[in-house]
A = this chain, B = another copy of it.
Amino acid sequence: MKIITESTPAADGFRMPAEYESHEGCIMIFPERPDSWQYGGYAARRAFSRVAEAIARSEKVTVCASEAQYDNARAMLPEQVRVVEMSSNDAWARDYAPTFVKNSRGEVRGIDWGFNAWGGLVDGLYFPWDKDNRMARKLCDLLETDVYDKRDFILEGGSIHVDGEGTGMVTESCLLSKGRNPDRSREEIEDILKEYLNLSTVLWLPCGIYGDETNEHVDNICAFVAPGEVVLAWTEDEKDPQYAMSKACLEYLEQAVDAKGRHIQVHKLPLPKPVLMTEEECRGLDECWDEPTRRPGERLAASYVNFYISNGNIIMPGFGDPADETAKEILQGLFPEREVVQIYARDILIGGGNIHCITQQIPEHC
């Protein structure tokens, strides 16, 4: 593995492919920490395993497990899933794994961004985060891809989306948060994204999903489904604080123009009714950083936008809500060639994210 410090993906002719382009495979992490996941991760491991199984129907899946969980992961996961030992502080592959870029010859490289648990000592979610922050490089080593060192810039994979044709999409609430790169201006941040993801246009949604602890990652509110086309998490309930947030995003998107000069077509994806933590669920969680991780009645950042596009399927969350079926039908209509698989994901949501957050695609390479 070569560590590249003297050039950038754009300078070298590499770009980040869209998630709907062909994958080599997918990276996941086996969940374990008892302050993120109920009952020492018991329920989450079952949900993650279902996600891994669904993705493995059409692409290779590599699951990273701690030494302690390795045997258990191997026993729970189907034999076509590869399990490798790798330490982490938690299980958010989207945010710790490298962002992969690819050139026109089909070579793939990784980008190793800095990671500080979604805000470091300002508003990060746990301490320490050193094992997470080492994963991108370890994964590049494992996969034998060279890696760009950009650890001086804090970024999570869940905070960016790209259309594969020169357009990126982020949220202001996250990328301009005080806990990430407070000394960089919006223009400097945009320039880094353009240089590392090889973009000419960055769309800046104002915000994300209400209560999303990641400072509102874009991948929970809005996702490209094709160049020039997005799904946006939506509610018709004007009294819901999410209404104004989704509306602000819609208004931004309605005036936006992408890298190819296209106006963005927005498909509204309904939100489930607010998903609230129960007392029983709270009892299943250890404390984190000297505080309860969740409190009874706390609203979780549930959204159907947090799906994963595999080579053959759309793997999307379900919440046992009437909107589950509507959202599934909308996504199935938008991805007619990929069968939508809906997985009951409350046990992932409790950890603070969803299916997109726990997966990271590796582009197909030569």
Chain A positions within 8 Å of B, measured between CB atoms, are 1-3, 67, 70-71, 74, 79, 82-87, 131, 134, 137-138, 141-142, 144
Alpha-carbon separation in the docked complex, A344 to B9 (Å): 42
Q: Whose C-beta in chain B lies nearest to the C-beta of A144? A: B82
Given A67-B131, A138-B70, A3 and B84 contact (CB-CB distance below 8 Å): no
How many copies of this chain sit in the oligomeric assembly? 2
Alpha-carbon separation in the docked complex, A79 to B82 (Å): 24
Alpha-carbon separation in the docked complex, A1 to B77 (Å): 11
**5 pairs of A and B residues whose beta carbons are closest in the complex:** A67-B87, A85-B86, A2-B79, A83-B141, A84-B142
Task: Looking at the assembled complex, report how far the CB atom of A134 sits from the nearest CB atom of chain B, in whole angstroms.
Answer: 7
A84 near B84 with CB under 8 A, answer: yes
Q: Whose C-beta in chain B lies nearest to the C-beta of A74? A: B141
Alpha-carbon separation in the docked complex, A353 to B330 (Å): 63
Q: Whose C-beta in chain B lies nearest to the C-beta of A142? A: B84
A3 near B142 with CB under 8 A, answer: no
Chain B contacts of A134 at CB under 8 A? 70-71
Alpha-carbon separation in the docked complex, A3 to B71 (Å): 13
Task: Looking at the assembled complex, report how far the CB atom of A144 sits from the nearest CB atom of chain B, in whole angstroms.
Answer: 6
Q: Whose C-beta in chain B lies nearest to the C-beta of A68? A: B87
Partner of A141, one of B84, B138, B141, B144: B84
Chain B contacts of A144 at CB under 8 A? 82
Extra contacts, 9 of them, besides A82-B141, A82-B144 (Cβ < 8 A), are: A1-B79, A2-B79, A70-B134, A74-B141, A82-B142, A84-B84, A84-B138, A84-B141, A85-B138
Alpha-carbon separation in the docked complex, A74 to B138 (Å): 9
Task: Looking at the assembled complex, report how far the CB atom of A279 sits from the nearest CB atom of chain B, in whole angstroms.
Answer: 36
Alpha-carbon separation in the docked complex, A269 to B180 (Å): 63
Chain B contacts of A74 at CB under 8 A? 137, 141
A79 near B3 with CB under 8 A, answer: yes
Instruction: Pick 27 A–B contacts, CB within 8 A, sort by A.
Output: A1-B79, A1-B82, A2-B79, A3-B79, A67-B67, A67-B87, A67-B131, A70-B134, A70-B138, A71-B134, A74-B137, A74-B141, A82-B141, A82-B142, A82-B144, A83-B138, A83-B141, A84-B84, A84-B85, A84-B138, A84-B141, A84-B142, A85-B85, A85-B86, A85-B87, A85-B138, A142-B142
